[in-house]
Every structure is written in structure tokens, then in C-alpha cells.
Amino acid sequence: MHHPDDVDLPRHREMDLERRPWWHRAALEGTPKMADERLRKFREKSSRTPHQSEQQLRRLIANYYGMISLIDHQVGRIRLALRDLGLADNTVIVYSTDHGDWLGDHGLLLKGPMAYEGLLRVGMLVEGPGVPAGKVVADPVSTLDLPQTFCDYAGTALPGPAHSRSLRPLIERDDARRDFALSEWDLRASRCGVDLALRTVRTRTHKLTLELNSGAGELYDLVNDPDEMDNRFGDPGVAKVQRELADMVASRPDDACAPLPQVGMA
């Protein structure tokens, strides 16, 4: 369906760990801490990114596009069924995903604790009654907002407090705004040998990731550096922006539960 010779390759395909915060290398080269040696070896092997030749990467990307096309086709079948059943005018469809994949950008494949756009900036398409056709929302939003969005359209509410805000105002109105979206990822030493507490905030123009245990971080100007090549964390020239984004990270409600007992490769 997608020929390897026709796919676009990332502009920056070399691993550049020397330009990155310490946890990037640790995630790829660290030794997982696990009592079960069989699981430890599996985690260690699966966390490594083997070097890909250009042709191998082209085949990998073409295969990935093929899998997406397969899903697109099945979603199309669902939409046709809704139409045939007379339900299309009373159904809101949201097409999204939990995360993206690296496809060779920065020399990486699959996913890991590096908050590059390839992982975090996923598509979200909405269709249904009251949804303007062709509208594009440029404000950063989160998949965490979907539960409250579904409740809003269904005329109900979530049973308790949640980190979720309805996207309906952004969808239906032109005056609604979102300043940032927050992502967080806690990893235990069973992943790469060290505990990580990562907090990422994304605005229209910048992205900041903090590793709370060490105080390290990375900051990218996504307008002038969309490929995230120049880490500006700690740069006096963007100190004001860094403080503003750090305040956004800190605005998260302090309602996290205590760490749960570990099961397997958590």
C-alpha cells in the first residue's frame, strides 16, 4: 500500500544523546533493576534502539503507515454503519490515540521517556452534531479531556473530581482558549535502572520537560526549532519562558495517590 521508496524520512536521524538531558541516555543504556532475570533481560533488550539503515527505516515507516491505513479503513466502516443505522446525526465520533511513535527521529524507534513531538503530538479528529466542519483548533489539549467531553455531549458528568476539561467550548466556539497541556510519566528503576519523575508542559510555542528527582530539564522553542534540536533549558535568554512553563507544571493539583505496589515491569 505504501512503497518504502515513497515515504518521507525524518530530517534528523542521528542519535544525539550528548545534546540531551541525562535521562535520555539512561533510558537507552541503563540496566533495569529487576529480581526476575528473565524479565530483566527482556526489558533491557526491548528498550534498546538498534541502528537502522535508510532502507530498513523506509520499510519500517511504510509498514507503520500501512497499519494506520488499516485502522482508517475500519473507522470508515464504523461511520458507514452509523449512517446506515440512522445514528450518524446523533453520534459524536472522536478519532485519536494514546501516543505516537518515533520513526527514526533523533535516531529513535518506538517510544520511551523522551517527550518529543513524535510521541506527544497525536491527531484528534472530531465529527458529529454541532461540530463545525473543517475547523482546526491550534490550542494544546490532552486526551485526558475526552472523558469530560463525552459527558458534556451526553448531558451528564463524571462521578468525581478528574483532571479533565470538556473540549466542547473549543470545538463549537471561536472565543474559547487553552494555554497548555500537561503530560506526566513516572518510571521505576525496573525500566532503565533509575527512577524517573517526568513532567511535560506544552504551549502553542514551547515545551518544557522537568525530571523532578534530579532537577534536570529540557526546553524547546517549537516555533523556531520544530525538530527539537536545541535544548534551551537554563538559557538566560529564555529564563522568563522557563519560569512560566515551570509554573504551569506546578499548577497541577496535589492529589496524586501513593505509588502502587509494583507488578512486573512497571
* 8 Å CB contact between 179 and 218: no
pLDDT value at position 46? Answer: 79
CA angle, 32 then 120 then 128, to 5°: 135
132 and 147 part of one domain = no
| Residues 6 or more apart in contact with residue 216 via CB below 8 angstroms | 21, 22, 23, 210, 233
196 and 146 part of one domain = no
Q: pLDDT of 210-255, one tens digit each?
A: 999 999 999 999 999 999 999 999 999 999 999 999 999 999 998 8
167 and 223 part of one domain = no
Burial of 61 (0-12, 13-18, 19+ CB in 10 A): buried
The pTM of this model reads: 0.92
Range of the domain at 32: 4-140+179-250
In a domain, 227, yes or no: yes
Q: pLDDT of 164-209, one tens digit each?
A: 999 999 999 999 999 999 999 999 998 889 999 999 999 999 999 9
Answer yes or no: is pLDDT of 101 > 90. Answer: yes
3-state secondary structure of 186: strand
